[in-house]
Structure 1
Amino acid sequence: MLLRPLPARNEYFGYGVAVAYIRASGETIDTEYEPWRDLVTDIRALRLTIYDIADRLRSMHPAPT
């Protein structure tokens, strides 16, 4: 049995939880939609390991202004 991460519309919940957790940790992140959409797409397609997901989340820092 395979448990797929973020089934049917749970990606919105996952996005909200991830953003809230990262902000609660005192970090700032890029909250543009595109990087998150790409991350969710790759997770749903089972292209990423948990370590890949963590790396991707750590890399989501806002561009310097």
Structure 2
Amino acid sequence: MLRPLPARNELYGFGVAVAYLGMHGERVNTKFEAWRDLISDITALRLDSFAVAERLRSLRLPPA
């Protein structure tokens, strides 16, 4: 398995994900607590890429 980010760099990954979604017009819940479980599941290898995508979709906020 390839790990593109250095070990224990969850905050960087969080920032990249929020920025990427924002660039594409997606408003997301940016409170870190909402991302804690996602980060934990990713680092524990409990999610595949499809599950990660579904979890990211669940963090979207309704249109303003």
Which TM bucket (shorter chain)?
0.7 to 0.9
TM-score where L is the length of structure 2: 0.81
How many equivalent pairs are there? 63
Question: Of the two structures, which has the highest relative contact order with CA contacts closer than 8 Å and spacing of 6 or more?
Answer: 1
**C-alpha RMSD of the superposition:** 2.2
TM-score where L is the length of structure 1: 0.80
Q: Structure 2: 5+ residue runs without aligned partners?
A: none
- 1:23-62 alignment, distance < 5 Å: 23-62=22-61
Same amino acid, percent of matched pairs? 56
The 4+ residue runs of structure 1 with deviation greater than 6 A are: none
Distance 1:38 1:25 in 2: 23
